[in-house]
Chains A and B, each alone.
Chain A
Amino acid sequence: QVPLQGSGPGLVKPSETLSLTCIVSGGSMNSVYWSWIRQPPGKELQWIAYIDNRGSITYNPSLKSRVTISVDTSKNQFSLTLSSVTAADTAVYYCARDPGAPVHAVDIWGQGTMVTVSS
């Protein structure tokens, strides 16, 4: 197992930038995809972005203009920033691991970080 521990502020003001970090405990960060996924209260899951250890990134087109994802393998962590937040960005943010082929799915999820956007 490769436990994931997400962290970040629980409250962000509208128009500001949300920043989250996920620590990968144990195991290698190589040859897998690291991902951020969010879930507004009472709603469905929404994929945000993938990054691999080489820094290759794919974004959800609906969020791409506001999202930055990065990886630091020396610190065993990856991060998410979401700019110009609004109340619609209020959600539980999950960091997650997708091991790549042949799984093509998330096999490990972090515990989730609740982020509220409010003044």
Chain B
Amino acid sequence: EIVLTQSPVTLSLSPGERATLSCRASQSVSSYLAWYQQKPGQAPRILIFDASNRATGIPARFSGSGSGTDFTLTISGLEPQDSAVYYCQHRSNWPPVSTFGPGTKVDIK
């Protein structure tokens, strides 16, 4: 069973700064890694799929990188509405099995 670890637990930054979020897998997941944003009381929203592909409608300030076991979500030029919890997820190709990381909370001061 693949385990995803996210760091840091919480990130507190100012508007305009850059956020760097990490997701580490217990074994290689190739590029099968997605990132989601979840705001309080809302369902998650997909940001990035297959490690580095932005989902439809996602601003260019969100970018993903990595492969194998180490992945990064970068948010450049933070805006107040970026305050949220960010989750990474691995979904294996076949059979489809999924696991989520514990999340990183981003606070915009």
Smallest Cβ-Cβ distance to A45: which chain B residue: B100
Q: How far is the CA of A103 from the CA of B53 in the complex (A)?
A: 9
A111 contact set on B, CB distance < 8 A: 43
- Known contacts A50-B96, A58-B95, A105-B91; is A94 also within 8 Å of B50 by CB? no
B100–A102 touching, CB < 8 Å: no
Q: Smallest CB–CB gap between A93 and chain B, Å?
A: 11
Q: Interface size bucket, A side?
A: 20 to 34
Are A44 and B100 touching (Cβ within 8 A)?
yes
Contacts A44-B103, A50-B98 known; A105 to B49 CB distance under 8 Å?
Answer: yes
Contact B43–A94 (Cβ < 8 Å): yes
Instruction: Using A33-B96, A61-B1, A102-B50 as known contacts, say yes or no to A107 and B102 having CB atoms under 8 A apart.
Output: no
Residue of B1, B36, B46 with most chain A CB atoms under a 10 A cut-off: B46
- For B87, give the chain A residue with the smallest CB separation: A45
Residues of B within 8 A of A (CB): 1, 32, 34, 36, 43-46, 49-50, 53, 55, 87, 89, 91, 93, 95-103
Taking Cβ atoms with an 8 Å cutoff, the residues of A that contact B are 33, 35, 37, 44-47, 50, 58, 60-61, 94, 98, 100-107, 109-112
